[in-house]
Chains A and B, each alone.
Chain A
Amino acid sequence: MRAATRDDGPGGLAHDSRRWALWADRQAALLPEEARRLVRFLPPGPEQARWIQAARRPPSPTASLVREWLDPERRWVLVPGVRIEGMVVPNGALLMYPEAFDDDPVVLAAVALEALARGAGDAKMLKRRLGLAVAAVTKVWGHVPDGLQDALAGFRGWFRQAGAPAWAEPLDHWAQACGAGEEVWPGDPEEPELARRLLVLGLPPHRPPGEAPLAPGSILLALATLQAEGMTGLEALATKAIEGSTLLARWEELERDGRR
């Protein structure tokens, strides 16, 4: 067992909330603003300490790019009426607010799949994460594609452990919130499969002949399915493609601005 460190909390009695609060204030002062907002949602105690620890870890390259890809000024939201206070991934903390994520389902998918790809957590967070991921996929494609059902099946056991009665629940979760079956995927529905094939070949997912990277949502989806199959080492290629996609979008925007 790992020895306790001062990062685990103030020590002493767990119910000494004043001591926890003082410790949390000191620790949270070291965090970026978005992470500070996150930990303020949580009451002082070991749960808050865990979140602070997670938020203090530097984000992975992929998580950083997803955050860059999303507008940093936008408050991250899920779906109307469903509040997700926050979602922890092993290398970073993501914030979500119940406002208007439904205007950009690809963003939702990217965030959800990023979290899904990164796996474990406690049962409560796992349930939220899985629900979010399946809901996002359903929102993007209108259904869970056959190929992805196999990949997601690996998570079904976790979902049951987390106390969910049936596989249908995460799908219902979306249906209740936004209405399932709506086709909103803005790109080629075959893109995730293409991304997957290219990753397996050791290439950043791209579209010939202009060599434009594929959409980040497709890449993250492919990455999530491959990691679920135990393939590792693909994150760098996915990150390269997501970086390229972000740069290309910005480049084209500035070119258009220059012509005006």
Chain B
Amino acid sequence: MVVAEAELRRRMADRPERRLVVTPLLSAGQVRGGSVDVRLGTEFILLRRSARGPIDPLLAEGGQGDFQERVRVPIGQRMILHPNQLVLGATLEFLQVPTDLMAYVIGRSSWGRLGLIVATAIMVQPGFRGSLTLELANLGDTPVYLYPGTRVAQLVFHTLEGDTRGYTEAAAKYVGPVGPEFSKLSDDPDWVVLSRWHARDQEHQDPE
């Protein structure tokens, strides 16, 4: 069930452990209807376009890759996003989602009509705490300016039914970031199996 504005505001005044936190809220109008507008933050991870080999997710440790660069663009300035370029941004707001709620991130259609796609990973888990990493891609044919501080997406909150184990209790992979985070695929338990599988196949192909 979608959580309506009055309930959202009530949750935002709850005691800190159970509180729905969205901070900083630069204007009261960000909470309206059944959603909360979120703004583009000031930190970005740029993926370098260089003559390098393919990215191997198995080896890509967060923040360590030589194909990414972290930059800060203060509010009042802008950065350019070229056609087919992908950058990782983050919400300006730090969130805490109570363990009985979850949210969907929905990009604003006004940006979509300019070619900008926001947030492909759209579910915010119960118990999530931190700034949301946003995948920003320009699918248009024309470069687009990005202005930190603009409203780029909205969060639609839903209640959960039944016994819910909070995200923090389950897998604390993305807990508490205050800026964008690079992929942590290599932390997935599946990768242990897949990397052994890959290594054995390599051995069979190249016994020496």
Tell me if A247 and B26 are in contact (CB < 8 A).
yes
| Smallest Cβ-Cβ distance to A201: which chain B residue | B16
Per-residue interface assignment for chain A, residues 177 to 191, with 1 indicating a CB less than 8 Å from any chain B CB and 0 otherwise: 000000000000000
Across the interface, which residues of A come within 8 angstroms of B129, CB to CB? 202-203
CB distance from B148 to the nearest CB of A (A): 10
Tell me if B178 and A251 are in contact (CB < 8 A).
no
- In the assembly, what is the distance between CA of A208 and CA of B22, in Å? 9
- In the assembly, what is the distance between CA of A236 and CA of B94, in Å? 11
Across the interface, which residues of A come within 8 angstroms of B59, CB to CB? none
Per-residue interface assignment for chain B, residues 1 to 24, with 1 indicating a CB less than 8 Å from any chain A CB and 0 otherwise: 000000001001110110101111
Contact of A211 with B149 at beta-carbon distance under 8 Å, contacts A201-B16, A203-B16 already known: no
Kindly state whether residue B35 has any CB partner on chain A within 8 Å: no
Kindly state whether residue B194 has any CB partner on chain A within 8 Å: no
Kindly state whether residue B46 has any CB partner on chain A within 8 Å: no
CB distance from A256 to the nearest CB of B (A): 13
CB distance from A203 to the nearest CB of B (A): 6
Kindly state whether residue A151 has any CB partner on chain B within 8 Å: no
Interface residues of A in 210-258 (CB under 8 A from B): 210-213, 236-237, 239-241, 243-245, 247-248, 250-251, 255
Per-residue interface assignment for chain B, residues 71 to 111, with 1 indicating a CB less than 8 Å from any chain A CB and 0 otherwise: 00001000000000000000011101000000000000000
- In the assembly, what is the distance between CA of A206 and CA of B12, in Å? 11
A209 touches which one: B12, B17, B149 (CB < 8 A)? Answer: B12
- In the assembly, what is the distance between CA of A243 and CA of B90, in Å? 14
CB distance from A42 to the nearest CB of B (A): 31
Per-residue interface assignment for chain A, residues 159 to 181, with 1 indicating a CB less than 8 Å from any chain B CB and 0 otherwise: 00000000000000000000000
Tell me if B24 and A208 are in contact (CB < 8 A).
no
B13 touches which one: A201, A209, A239, A255 (CB < 8 A)? Answer: A209
Across the interface, which residues of B come within 8 angstroms of A239, CB to CB? 178
- In the assembly, what is the distance between CA of A203 and CA of B20, in Å? 11
Kindly state whether residue B25 has any CB partner on chain A within 8 Å: yes
CB distance from A50 to the nearest CB of B (A): 28
Kindly state whether residue B170 has any CB partner on chain A within 8 Å: no
- In the assembly, what is the distance between CA of A239 and CA of B93, in Å? 13
Kindly state whether residue B176 has any CB partner on chain A within 8 Å: yes
Tell me if B176 and A251 are in contact (CB < 8 A).
no
Interface residues of B in 125-154 (CB under 8 A from A): 129, 131, 149
Tell me if B149 and A247 are in contact (CB < 8 A).
yes
B25 touches which one: A204, A212, A241, A245 (CB < 8 A)? Answer: A212
Contact of A237 with B13 at beta-carbon distance under 8 Å, contacts A204-B94, A247-B26, A251-B26 already known: no
Kindly state whether residue B205 has any CB partner on chain A within 8 Å: no
B24 touches which one: A197, A198, A203, A245 (CB < 8 A)? Answer: A245
Contact of A211 with B178 at beta-carbon distance under 8 Å, contacts A247-B26, A248-B26 already known: no
CB distance from A223 to the nearest CB of B (A): 14
Per-residue interface assignment for chain B, residues 22 to 57, with 1 indicating a CB less than 8 Å from any chain A CB and 0 otherwise: 111111100000000000001000000000000000
| Smallest Cβ-Cβ distance to B96: which chain A residue | A203
| Smallest Cβ-Cβ distance to A214: which chain B residue | B23
Taking A198-B16, A213-B23 as given, write out 17 further A-B residue pairs in contact, using a Cβ cutoff of 8 Å, ordered by the A residue number: A202-B129, A202-B176, A203-B21, A203-B94, A203-B96, A209-B9, A211-B12, A211-B23, A212-B23, A239-B178, A241-B23, A243-B42, A244-B23, A245-B24, A247-B75, A248-B26, A251-B27
